Chains A and B, each alone.
Chain A
């Protein structure tokens, strides 16, 4: 799958690493170079320094050719704008936007994009675990813990070899 991610914070960086490790083609865009430190050292995808709500930037990184577009910056509005550009202007069929305000998440879901609210998703998960709803909680927790253990191990190895952080390659 060819995936374009806007926003290389903790979530964006983590997901980019996950998809890249699985063999998908990943391009990730962020406004600030230090953000790319959120990528795992082994990341083999493309990084691009630029504004992910900018028409020209999105065109430059090939938004019209991707199978999925993920808007994962820290700003709900930026995510919604980027996701709508991808969907309505460039016709990307699978579009995800991180929207922390649950109300806005619902409004834009009605417009045909997948919106994910940290507020409700985390709250629901914690509630399920607290109430012993093992069906929902356990699978997710198992994967989460595995990913976290993997990240911790990579970090330790990186420290040992003292930080040759993967140079961010520009597209």
Chain B
């Protein structure tokens, strides 16, 4: 696949390097001349020394044939504009934005940029995963909808242990897609009873996330 990486800082550089190692084609747009030169020395001719928030440079970087544009600078306002300008000039590809202030995830969604990655939230998820109380992980938003994919781990002592799916009081619009139990998937419907160690995979309206959590883990 072909990716345009907007911003060649720590995140952009390592992302580009990983994508290249995975066999993808990459173009990094970096505005600082010295940084651009340095990246070129490390990764080869995969750098455009230009400002990524201007449409003409996105076009020059080949955004029209890119599978995705990844806006990963350290500046949320710039990442937002990079994504919106990309939508304007390069309509087909996906746009994914790094969000530095987790609060801005809501802002980006409201302004039409659905796919965001917040390093703070990713780290929080990892930390929660390490906690013994089980975990609740919004995995990803589903493009073009107000839905998201959620994984919930049922730890000992979770209120929903021993309850059947039917009696869970899930909010309207939320659906269990399946339960991962002992490495296998079992259907998450009707009289299926939740057990300790289950990983419940759900589809839910983004707005109902808190209610899903409550239905599984109690208030």
Contact = CB atoms under 8 A, between A and B. Distances in A.
Given A81-B81, A89-B110, A103 B54 contact: yes
30 contacts: A54-B103, A55-B103, A55-B104, A55-B107, A56-B103, A75-B77, A76-B53, A76-B81, A77-B53, A77-B75, A77-B77, A77-B80, A78-B77, A80-B80, A80-B84, A81-B77, A81-B80, A81-B81, A81-B107, A84-B80, A85-B111, A88-B111, A89-B107, A89-B111, A101-B54, A103-B54, A104-B54, A104-B81, A104-B85, A107-B85
Contacts of A76: 53, 81
Contact of A80 (B56, B77, B88, B103): B77
A107 B56 CA distance: 13
A27 interface: no
Contacts of A47: none
Number of contact residues on B: which range applies?
A: 20 to 34
B151 interface: no
A104 B81 CA distance: 9
B195 interface: no
Given A55-B103, A88-B111, A107 B88 contact: yes
B76 interface: yes
A104 B110 contact: no
Contacts of A115: none
A127 B201 CA distance: 64
Interface size class for chain A? 10 to 19
Contact of A53 (B54, B56, B76, B88): B76
Contacts of A55: 103-104, 106-107
- Grouping DSSP codes into helix (H, G, I), strand (E, B) and loop, the A interface class, with mixed when no group exceeds half, is helix
A84 B111 contact: yes
Contacts of A85: 107, 111
Interface of B: 53-56, 75-78, 80-81, 84-85, 88, 101, 103-104, 106-107, 110-111
A29 to B, nearest CB: 15
Contacts of A89: 107, 110-111
Contacts of A101: 54
B77 A53 contact: yes
Contacts of A107: 55, 84-85, 88
Contacts of A75: 77
Given A101-B54, A103-B54, A88 B78 contact: no
A73 to B, nearest CB: 9
Interface string A99-113: 001011001000000
A76 B85 CA distance: 13
A66 to B, nearest CB: 18
